Structure 1
Amino acid sequence: MVTVTHLPGAQPDPRRWWALAALVASMLTLGFDMTILNVALPTMAGQLGADTGEQQWMADAYVVVFAALMLPAGLLGDRFGRRRMLVAGLAVFLAGSAAGALATDVPAVVAARTVMGVGAALVTPLALSVLPSLFAPDERTKAIGIVSAGSTLGLPLGPILGGWLLDHFWWGSVFLVNLPMAALGIAACVLLLPETRDPASPTVDGVSTALTATGLGTLVYAIIEAPVRGWADPLVLGTAVAGAGLIGALVLRERRAVRPMLDMTLLARRGFSFNALAATLVMFVLSGLMFVLPPYLQAVHGHDALATGVRLLPLMGGLIVAARVAQPVVARFGSRAVVSAGLTVLAFAALLGSRTTADSGYGFAALWLTAAGLGFGASIVPAMSGALGTLPADRAGSGSGLLMTLRQVGGAIGIALLGSLLAAAYRARLDTAGLARPAADAAGDSVVAAHLIAGRTHSPALASSADQAYVHGMGVALLVCGVAALAAALLAAVLLPGDPATRRVPDAPGPVMAAPTEDVRQ
């Protein structure tokens, strides 16, 4: 069977830019959902009675499923048709969003977020893999950059949009906003996209997919439960060992497979593995920060949801600015120097942020948030570019898929681990003397719950103690972020190849992937 994208002299599809606009709308929606829920979590915690662990699951359910299913989802598109699976992914995402808007308790929200993760896992790789059927090589780089920028733009807009919705509507509106965007994407895909597939791609390995999902989910469960039960608890120890064992079994299975779904041999390439590690650690820190910051701004400082979203802009602004200027700096100084410098700036910002007190003004937070954003952007773009630049052309698809999966795993672990550290430190520092046992337990669940109880019991001392305990816990999480970033900077300086990145990727920290070059048109 002949595999082509564009034949020489073929007329480009006049509808291709409209189709691209639909794909951008879809990726923008996914970008919203990476950050929009973080602003809503304090409000949801108060109205649903969610403790810190349950808030972690509401955030992590989406990311864990996203990470576990992204690679098999891409292979399903190759096998059964990319347009078909892209429409299916948007439909699943729409259904999950509708369920989230109608949810009335924490388990329902977690279930809805899980369904949304399935849809996002289908949409993300396929939105880029259909581009070769629409655009000739001279337009394709621009198209990939535009789609990636759509997801990137959703990151800073998510908190602001979420804050505005929460100020005017109920918390379910942060899910409801996805419905028209997903519906538009479905209609545009059906009307504008050609069907393409690649029957030569590896088959979907159900066992490997199950090992990925269960291993990652079990490990995240152990990390989230540890602050409540203790690391020595048999259930926590058992699930942690089981999770590590399942992931180890996945690695062994993929290494022995003739055509692996996760190409582990790529990790033997120093340039790929250490750049991938740097990008994964950046996502670890970014996801953790986006989890711990909104309660600080809302509960401790008393800002509403919209004001919280606006106050997160220094972080996102620094990230986007640094990402835009990263490529020319890499061309001059090399990827190793830029990645190391970016991680060092990130470490400095996190360590500075760990000095925050309950009395610190927003100006101090804006300072270290801006520095953190600059560090994020300066490190993740050249790290991604450097990783992909080490791959031969025939491994670009599998390499980019593995890189994106590792990034999502880093995000899931970041929310679980940093959120758990914060919860443990918060409980240890909170003073609940004089409270009845049920009220004391509830106040220890989250800073939002503590403020609600302080209002009901007319106890300003409890509110003050909760603020100081939360800031202490946030400081512990930021200290871990700073140490991790500094260690990554040292590893990058010593172990990354010294040559500048040779393969250019779009100047955006969104889900950059190398698009396949072979398609079979239907």
Structure 2
Amino acid sequence: MATVTQEGGVRRAPRRWWALGALVASMLVLGFDMTILNVALPTMARDLGASTGQQQWMADAYIVVFASLMLPAGLLGDRFGRRRMLIAGLVVFLAGSLAGALVHSVTPVIAARAVMGIGGALVMPLALAVLPSLFGPDERTKAVGAVSAASALGLPLGPITGGWLLNHFWWGSVFLINVPMAAIGIIACVFLLPETADPASPRVDALSTALTATGLGSLIYAIIEAPDRGWGDPLVLALLATAVGLIALLVVRERRSARPMLELSLLTHRGFLLNTLAATLVMFVLSGLMFVLPQYLQAVLGHDALATGVRMLPMMGGMLIAARGAGPIVARFGPRAVISSGLVVLAFAAFLGSRTTVDDGYGFTALWLSVTGVGFGFAVVPAMDAALGALPPDRAGSGSGLMMTIRQVGSAIGIALLGSLLAGTYQGRLDTVGLPDTAARAASDSVVGAHVVAARLGDQALAASANAAYVHGMGLVLLVSGGAALVTALLAAALLPNPKPAPDVPEEDSAMAPAPGNAGQ
């Protein structure tokens, strides 16, 4: 097991950069699984006979469980050891992936995805929670940037990898690819990560855990169902009411507890709260961009799944550049200026993308995607680093779990709201006059469905109408995303704290200090 030494009053792990590599590998696996299944769903629907609703749950079971359990997972790491629980999460994730590759019907696939969500919920917050024990404030921006970039890099690599696997193997290979990667992560964590824990942390409260998981699960479920059912649907309203009621009960219970399981008092810390909200609003905007782009590349521009994933790489290039350069720029100008500027760049990218027309080729898309990556990297990495630095060391697990849960909920809300906007705009502008009812409904479901109907009927006018309707809806989504990013930039500039580095300040007082100029080198 790796040990931690003291160096100038700052805890240093001798093999911390190797350990960071283990964390990066773990987060890359999670990023993969956010998107890799999407390209496999049509094949799985054909081979397993899955309905549309079943396909949705094959994708969404992971997200619901993942978001619901991150808070309790952070506490388990605080209580029983972050390294131990991180390894346990990777083991669970590996087991779920192996099960998903070997089953032969829809229900076991959904169950396997849920098991993978449990593992992911343990890995995500604890991968961040161990960073303060490995890196001091002078190195943490670079470490947070690497972990965040790994998670984000998995998003476009998922379709690339999934597309290649589906071209060569059966659909179960999109699950099986996780097994060796998770195994490498387990081995690396065993030998490289130091163990950190807080034995005095509150015990795991089963009722509070159930309230947290059920309340957040109901909220995410409602958000997922709302675009299809409508926000006024009785089931959606009932789920939202249930979520509000359960979360309210959780807050009341925790506030009355002498030893609360969840440190809701963290939300009273201005630095933690505001930086977490800034990162969450960035994820809201990014989720909108990521949602509209694959269908545009596949249906409108005519690329397959593999080519679509490759064409999303310019955003990753911009993101990696920004993540590497964030440290020295934060040291020079402070986190508030960098976060605000990153959000302005993100808004500009969204506004630029909203000018896309049906006749534009991929070159224009690559341009605004690159700018998007730069804006995202400069906004979210310093925000997460500042929020992480504001956490009390003994509550790093539960605090990072709270931060990641809020971010995940922000992403889900972004997909649900912006997806509803896109669907409504697309359906309102699509010309289905003269089509049989069945064909009209299929074309209205999605731009992909419209192209299938157009090919079957030989109706080029329908394909052109679908492309125009989708691009108009995408432009509207990007306008709303850009507006949200611009408003967030103004709020960040006005409200975020802006700590300055101080060489003689003790570690506990300089937890949010930006990295020095050589941190990103």
Alignment correspondent of 2:433: 433
- Give, in angstroms, the shift of residue 321 of structure 1: 1.1
Q: Taking structure 1 as reference, are residues 209 and 474 closer, same or farther at Cα in structure 2, changes over 3 Å only?
A: farther
Q: Is the contact between residue 64 and residue 412 of structure 1 (CA under 8 Å) also seen in structure 2?
A: no
How far is the alpha carbon of 1:311 from its aligned partner? 0.9
Structure 1 residues 241 and 416: CA distance shift in structure 2, 3 A: same
Q: Give CA deviations for 1:155-197 in whole Å, capped at 9, x if unaligned.
A: 4533432333234334443222112222334455567778765
CA–CA distance in 1 between the matches of 2:82 and 2:383? 28
Deviation at residue 488 of structure 1 after TM alignment: 0.9
RMSD over equivalenced CA pairs, Å: 3.7
Deviations 1:94-148 (CA, angstroms, capped at 9, x unpaired): 2322344456676655443322111111223444666799x69799968777666
Partners of 1:498 and 1:196 in 2: how far apart?
29
CA distance in 1, matches of 2:478, 2:41: 19
On the 8 A contact 1:93/1:118 being kept in 2, the answer is yes
- Is the CA contact (8 Å cut-off) linking 1:164 and 1:306 kept in structure 2? yes
> Which residues in structure 2 correspond to 1:470-485 (within 5 Å)?
470-485=470-485
Cα deviation, residue 429, structure 1: 2.5
Deviation at 1:284, TM superposition (A): 1.7
Identity within the alignment, %: 71
Q: 1:42 to 1:492 in 2, by over 3 A?
A: farther
User: Structure 1 residues 443, 198: closer, same or farther in 2, change over 3 A?
Assistant: same
Bigger Cα displacement from structure 2, 215-224 vs 13-22: 13-22
Aligned residue identity for 2:65: V
1:384 aligns with 384
Q: Deviation per CA, 1:237-268, whole angstroms, max 9, x where unpaired?
A: 23223323333333333333333333222222
Report the residue type matching 2:474 in the other structure.
M
Alpha-carbon offset, residue 380 of structure 1 = 0.7
Task: Supply the distance in 2 between the matched residues of 1:299 and 1:188 (Cα, whole angstroms).
Answer: 41
Rounded to whole Å, the distance in 1 between the matches of 2:407 and 2:230 is 28
Whether 1:355 aligns to 2:355 is: yes
Structure 1 residue 493, shift from structure 2 partner:
1.6
Preserved contact between residue 124 and residue 404 of structure 2 (Cα < 8 Å) = no
- Find the residue that maps to 1:357 and give its secondary structure: coil
1:301 equivalent in structure 2:
301
Q: 1:122-137, aligned counterparts within 5 Å?
A: 122-127=122-127
Q: Which residue of 2 is the match for residue 516 of structure 1?
A: none
Q: CA deviation at 1:53?
A: 7.5
TM-score by length of 2: 0.83
Asked if structure 1 preserves the Cα contact closer than 8 Å seen for 2:499 and 2:513, the reply is: no
**Does the CA-based 8 Å contact 2:86-2:123 persist in structure 1?**
yes
**Is the deviation greater in 289-298 or in 153-162?**
153-162
Name the TM-score, length of structure 1 as normaliser: 0.82
The equivalent residue for 1:512 is none
CA distance in 1, matches of 2:377, 2:49: 36
Alignment CA distance shift 1:153-1:237 (3 Å): closer
Aligned to 1:204: 204
Alpha-carbon displacement from aligned partner over 1:21-69 (angstroms, at most 9, x marks no partner): 5554333322322343455567767888989877665544323322221
- Residues 13, 225 of structure 1: CA spacing in aligned structure 2 closer, same or farther, 3 A cutoff? closer
In structure 2, C-alpha distance between the alignment counterparts of 1:183 and 1:391, rounded to whole Å: 30
State the shift of 1:325 in Å: 1.2
CA distance in 1, matches of 2:454, 2:158: 30
> For structure 2, which runs of at least 5 residues remain unmatched after alignment?
502-509, 517-521
| Alignment-mate amino acid for residue 333 of structure 1 | F
List aligned pairs for 1:97-176, cutoff 5 A: 97-101=97-101, 109-127=109-127, 150-151=150-151, 153-176=153-176
Q: Supply the distance in 1 between the matched residues of 2:257 and 2:82 (Cα, whole angstroms).
A: 25
Q: Distance in 1 between matches of 2:52 and 2:366?
A: 25
Counterpart of 2:383, as a letter, is A
Q: CA separation in 2, counterparts of 1:444 and 1:47?
A: 25
- CA distance in 2: counterparts of 1:223 and 1:128, whole angstroms: 26
Distance 2:489 2:407 in 1: 17
- Counterparts of 2:353 and 2:54, CA distance in 1: 25
Cα distance in 2 between the residues matched to 1:473 and 1:278:
26
- 2:463 is aligned to 463
Contact between 1:339 and 1:489, CA under 8 Å: does it hold in 2? yes
CA distance in 2, matches of 1:426, 1:138: 48
Q: Distance in 2 between matches of 1:45 and 1:359?
A: 32
309-318 or 199-208: which moved more? 199-208
C-alpha contact 1:220 1:416 (8 A) present in aligned 2:
no
**1:224 touches 1:420 (CA, 8 Å); kept in 2?**
no
Shift in CA distance, 490/56, structure 1 to aligned 2, threshold 3 Å: farther
What corresponds to 2:416 in structure 1? 416
Question: The residue matched to 2:357 in structure 1 has which SS?
Answer: coil
In the alignment, structure 1 residue 310 sits paired with structure 2 residue 321: no
- Equivalent residue for 2:491? 491
Q: Shift of residue 504 of structure 1?
A: 5.5
Matched, 1:30 2:30: yes
Which shows bigger deviation, 367-376 or 252-261?
252-261
Aligned 8 A contact 2:3 2:194 in 1: no
Q: Is the 8 A contact 1:276 1:403 kept in 2?
A: yes
Q: After TM superposition, list the pairs within 5 Å mapping 1:357-376 onto structure 2.
A: 357-376=357-376
3-state DSSP of counterpart to 1:231: coil
- Residue aligned with 1:235, SS: helix
Alpha-carbon distance, 1:365 to partner = 1.2
The 1:220/1:429 distance shift into structure 2, 3 A limit, reads: farther
For 2:505, the equivalent position in structure 1 comes to: none
> Which letter maps to 1:486?
L
Matched residues in 2 for 1:271 and 1:420: separation?
33
Q: Does 1:328 align with 2:328?
A: yes
**1:338 — aligned with what?**
338
CA distance in 2, matches of 1:255, 1:136: 33
Q: Distance in 2 between matches of 1:413 and 1:405?
A: 12
Which residue is equivalent to 2:507?
none
Q: 1:106 to 1:82 in 2, by over 3 A?
A: same
2:70 & 2:21 partners in 1: Cα distance?
22
| Map 1:279-298 → 2, pairs under 5 A | 279-298=279-298
Q: What is the CA deviation profile of residues 59-105 of structure 1, one whole-angstrom value per residue up to 9, with x for unaligned ones?
A: 44323322221232233344445555334322321232234445667
Equivalent pair of 1:284/1:410 in contact (CA under 8 Å)? yes
Who is 1:72 aligned against? Answer: 72
Between stretches 355-364 and 220-229, larger displacement belongs to 220-229
Moved more, 308-317 or 107-116: 107-116
Distance 1:120 1:64 in 2: 11
Quote the Cα distance in structure 2 between the aligned partners of 1:336 and 1:131: 22
Q: Could you say which residue in structure 2 is the equivalent of 1:253?
A: 253
Give secondary structure in 1 for the equivalent of 2:199: coil
Aligned partners of 1:145 and 1:506 also within 8 Å: no
Letter in 2 for 1:349: A
Point out the more displaced range, 473-482 or 138-147: 138-147
Matched residues in 2 for 1:222 and 1:124: separation?
Answer: 23
The structure-2 alpha-carbon separation of the partners of 1:395 and 1:177, relative to structure 1 and needing over 3 Å to count, comes to closer
**1:240/1:355 CA distance change after superposition, 3 Å:** farther
> The residue matched to 2:399 in structure 1 has which SS?
helix
The 3-state SS of whatever aligns with 2:483 is: helix
Is the contact made by 1:38 and 1:290 (CA closer than 8 Å) also made in structure 2? no
8 Å Cα contact 1:45-1:449 kept in structure 2 = no
8 Å CA contact 2:335, 2:514 repeated in 1? no
Structure 2: distance between partners of 1:273 and 1:443: 44
Mapped partners of 1:350, 1:60: distance in 2: 26
Contact 2:23 2:147 in 1 (8 A): yes
- CA distance in 2 between counterparts of 1:243 and 1:34 reads 24
